[in-house]
Amino acid sequence: MDRDAPAVGEGTNIDDEAPRIEPTIETEAATKTDDAELERTLGLVGGLAIGIGTMIGAGIFVFPGLAAGRAGPAAAGSFAIGAVIALFVALPASELATAMPKSGGGYYFISRGLGTFAGTVVGLSLWLGLVFATAFYLVGFGYYAVDTLAELGIAVGNGLVIPLALLFGAGFTVLNVTGTENAAKLQNGIVALLLSILVCFLGFGGLDALGLVGEPAAPERFAPFGAFPVLTTSALVFTSYLGFAQIATVAGEMRDPGRNLPLSMVGSVLIVGTLYVVTIFVATSAFGSERLAELGETAMVEVGRHYLGSIGALAIVFGGLLATISSANASILSTSRAVYAVSRDALLPRRASRINLRYGTPHVALGLAGGPILVLVATGQVELLAEVASFLHLVMYGLICVALVSLRRDEPEWYDPAFRTPGYPVVPAVGAVASFGLIGFMQPASQITGVAVMAVTAGWYFYYARDVTLRGAL
C-alpha cells in the first residue's frame, strides 16, 4: 500500500523504546512543514476560554427549550448528571494530559495506553465527533442570527438559518488558519463579555424566580414526565460538556501544562455546570415545559423578554450569538488539532499534519475539519447532530478512563504526570461505567449513526493503519 508514512514500530518493546515515524519526504519545503511544531501560546485563561466558551454555547442558549420539553424542570438534574460524569472523566483526563501534553487530547492518551486499534477508532471518531458538534453549534448560531434580525425589525424567516451557518463556518475556519493566538484572542473576548451578560441576567432572573423581586412564580411539578426522561435528556445535553476535553486537544500549544491543563478542565466543568443548572431553573420558572418546548432552540430569548422586557430579549439574542460563535470557533480549532495528531502518527496521510510556515497552524487539518462541518451544517438536524457528537465523545471518555488504569498498572518509564487523579481507581472506574452507560439512553437513530461512524473508522484501521505501533510511544 502506498502511504505518506510507512508502518512503524514492528518488534519494539512498547515500554522501553518509543517507535519512530519516518515519513517519505518529497521536497525540502515539505520537510520543514512536517517537522514544524505548534507554538505554545495558550495559558490558563486561554484554556478556560476554550472550555467555557465551547460549553456555554449549546448548554445555555440552545438546549433549555429542547431539554425542558423532554424532562420539565428536572432538566436541571439532567445537566447536573452530565456535569458529574464530565468531572469523573476530567480528573483522569487531566492526569493523562499532564503526562502527555500533546495536541490530540483523548486520542493521544488512548493510543498510547491501549494501542493503535483503539487509538485509530477513537482518533478518527474524535475528529468526526467534533465535526458533528461544530455543525450543531453553527446551526444554533444560524437560529440566533435570524432572531437577532427579527429583534431589529428585519424578518427574514428560518430559511436563512443554514446559509448564515455555512458562511460563518467557512469564516471561522479561515480565522483559525491565521493562528491560534488570533483565535484565542477572539475566544477570550467573547467569553468575558458572555459571562458578564449571563451573570447579570441569571442573577436578576434567579431573584425573580425565587419571588425576591417581582411576583413569585407558580411552581411546576419537578419531574412531570417521570425519571427516565431525565436520563435520556442527559444523553442529549451531554454535548454541552465537550469543551473540557477540547482543552486537551490543544495541550501541545499550552504553556505550563502541568498546572494549566487540570485547572482548565476541572474549572470549566464546575463553572459551566453551575450556570446550566441555574439557567434551567430560571427558564422553567418563567414558562412551563410545554411552552419552552414550543419555543425550541431560541426559547431563552422569550425568557429574557419575560424577565427584562425588550432589553432582556436583546441581551439574550446578543449573548446567544456570542455563545454559538464561541462554541463554533473553539470546536473548529480542536477538530483540526485532532486531525493533526492522528496524521502525525501516520494513521492518516502525513500531509494532513503539515504546518503553515507563515502562521504556525495545521492548515491542511483545518481544511479537513471545515469541509465536513459545512456538509453536516447543511442537514440542519439539531438533535441528531448533538446526540451523535455525544455518542462519539462518550466512547472516548470511557476509554480515557480505561487508558488511565492501563497506564497506572504498567507504569512505563516515560509516564510521569504532574497531576494525579484523586480517588484512584474508583474515579476512573465510575467515569468509564457512567460514560458507556449514558449511551444506552440515546435515540436509536443517534446510536445507529454513532456505531456506523465507529465501524468506518475500524475499517480504516484494517485498510491503512494496522502496521503502525503506538502503544507506549511519546
Question: How high is the pLDDT of residue 85?
Answer: 95
Specify the amino acid at residue 352.
A
Question: How high is the pLDDT of residue 451?
Answer: 96
Residue with cell 450556570: 275
300 contacts 316 by C-beta, under 8 angstroms: yes
Kindly list the distances between the CA atom of residue 448 and the CA atoms of 257, 401, 443, in Å, as whole numbers in the listed order: 37, 24, 9
Hey, is 263 helix, strand or coil? helix
Question: How high is the pLDDT of residue 88?
Answer: 95
Beta partners for 103?
A: 250
Question: How high is the pLDDT of residue 400?
Answer: 94
180 contacts 250 by C-beta, under 8 angstroms: yes
Residues 294 and 302: their CA atoms lie apart, in Å, by: 11
The set of cell numbers assigned to 458 is 475500524
Residues 130 and 169: their CA atoms lie apart, in Å, by: 13
Question: How high is the pLDDT of residue 6?
Answer: 40
Residues 236 and 251: their CA atoms lie apart, in Å, by: 27
Question: How high is the pLDDT of residue 103?
Answer: 63
Give me the phi and psi of 449, to 5 degrees please.
-65, -45
Question: How high is the pLDDT of residue 23?
Answer: 41
272 contacts 52 by C-beta, under 8 angstroms: yes
Single out the residue of 235, 232, 275, 265 nearest to residue 392, CA to CA.
235
Single out the residue of 27, 163, 91, 112 nearest to residue 415, CA to CA.
112
Give me the phi and psi of 84, to 5 degrees please.
-65, -45
Whole-angstrom Cα Rg for the chain: 22
Measured from the Cβ of residue 351, the count of other Cβ atoms closer than 10 Å reads 16
The set of cell numbers assigned to 429 is 472506574
Kindly list the distances between the CA atom of residue 234 and the CA atoms of 87, 174, 242, 250, in Å, as whole numbers in the listed order: 14, 34, 13, 27
Ranges of residues in the chain with a pLDDT under 50 are 1-35
Question: How high is the pLDDT of residue 401?
Answer: 96
Question: How high is the pLDDT of residue 59?
Answer: 72
Measured from the Cβ of residue 270, the count of other Cβ atoms closer than 10 Å reads 15
Tens of pLDDT, residue by residue over 145-192, are: 998 888 888 888 888 899 999 998 888 888 877 765 666 666 677 777
Question: How high is the pLDDT of residue 444?
Answer: 94
Beta partners for 356?
A: 361
The residue count for the chain: 474
Contacts of residue 428, Cβ cutoff 8 Å, sequence gap at least 6: 88, 91, 92, 401, 402, 404, 405, 421
Question: How high is the pLDDT of residue 4?
Answer: 47
Residue with cell 455525544: 390
Instruction: Please tell me the number of Cα atoms within 13 Å of 68 on its side-chain side.
Output: 35
| pTM for this prediction | 0.79
Single out the residue of 361, 103, 360 nearest to residue 248, CA to CA.
103
Question: How high is the pLDDT of residue 10?
Answer: 35
Hey, is 8 helix, strand or coil? coil
Task: Encode 139-161: b = buried (16+ Cβ within 10 Å), e = exposed.
Answer: bbbbbbbbbbbbbeeeeeeeeeb
DSSP per residue over 409-436, as a string? HH--TT---SS--TTTTHHHHHHHHHHH
Give strand ranges (E) for 187-280.
none
Question: How high is the pLDDT of residue 118?
Answer: 93
Question: How high is the pLDDT of residue 290?
Answer: 85
261 contacts 100 by C-beta, under 8 angstroms: no
